[in-house]
Amino acid sequence: MPTGVHLRDVRKQLFEAAERVLLRDGPNALTSRAVTTEADVAKGVLHRYFTDFDDFLADLVRDRLARLADQAALLRAAAGTRGVTENLIDALTELFDPVSLALTSLVFFRDELRTRLRRGNGLPILTEARDMLKSYLSAEREQGRIAADAEVDSLSLSLIGAAHLLFAGRRQGTLPNDKELETTVTTIMADALQRRLL
């Protein structure tokens, strides 16, 4: 006799369950049993759709990376609108949502997962985030809204590193206040923004 809930979109159901476990209990609690229990499906369901748990986790991260690609396209399209700092603050706030932070920790601590996801140098998720900011800042540079010689790769790395520390270094469920992030982004971008006027 079948157990659990009706399986319409198994992958989506399992991914959402994994995200709930991550948010509630943290990366260390994420196991195949925790995911299937949270999704209210039989234990073997996950292994029917994925070769092993690291395969499931890799697809979970890839799903998040697909969302990040969508965010990157929207951010690049925002070049030339509003303020550069304002666009960056919004992008970083969306980027470092609690699920992305938890997935970044998971990737960092699971060697097999990191190996499956790695396409070059860098940590998956943070590497794509850096590329997103680099693309956006390049577009702003082309429009003359930041200095023509602004080093967008270094700026992107600085923004990702500083924002990650601001968001990840907190008690679970808390976020940096708006002023903290604004001050950080403004400080990093100050020279590139000021020199565009010279």
Instruction: List alpha helices for the chain, DSSP H.
Output: 10-25, 32-39, 45-49, 53-77, 84-95, 98-109, 111-117, 126-142, 152-168, 178-195
Domain that holds residue 28: 8-49
Whether residue 121 sits in one domain with residue 45: no
Q: How many domains does the chain have?
A: 2
pLDDT digits (tens, 9 = 90+) for 106-139: 888 888 888 888 776 778 889 999 999 999 999 9
Q: Name the residue among 106, 75, 73 with its Cα closest to residue 88.
A: 75
150 lies in the same domain as 71: yes
User: Are 171 and 84 found together in one domain?
Assistant: yes
8 Å CB contact between 75 and 20 = no
Instruction: Give the closest residue to 7 by CA, choosing from 54, 62, 44.
Output: 44
Same-domain pairing of 14 and 110: no
The answer to the question of residue 35 being in a domain is yes
Task: State the CATH number of the domain containing residue 31.
Answer: 1.10.10.60
Residues 100 and 137 in one domain: yes
**Whether residues 44 and 71 fall in one domain:** no
Q: Which of 129, 188, 191 is nearest to 160 (CA)?
A: 129
Point out the least confidently predicted range of 10-14, 100-104, 192-196: 192-196
Assigned domain for 88 exists? yes
The residue-averaged pLDDT of 178-190 equals 93
Neighbours of 73 (CB within 10 A): 12
Task: Please indicate, yes or no, whether residues 99 and 29 belong to a single structural domain of this protein.
Answer: no
- Say if residue 12 is in the same domain as residue 68: no
122 close to 114: Cβ distance less than 8 angstroms: no
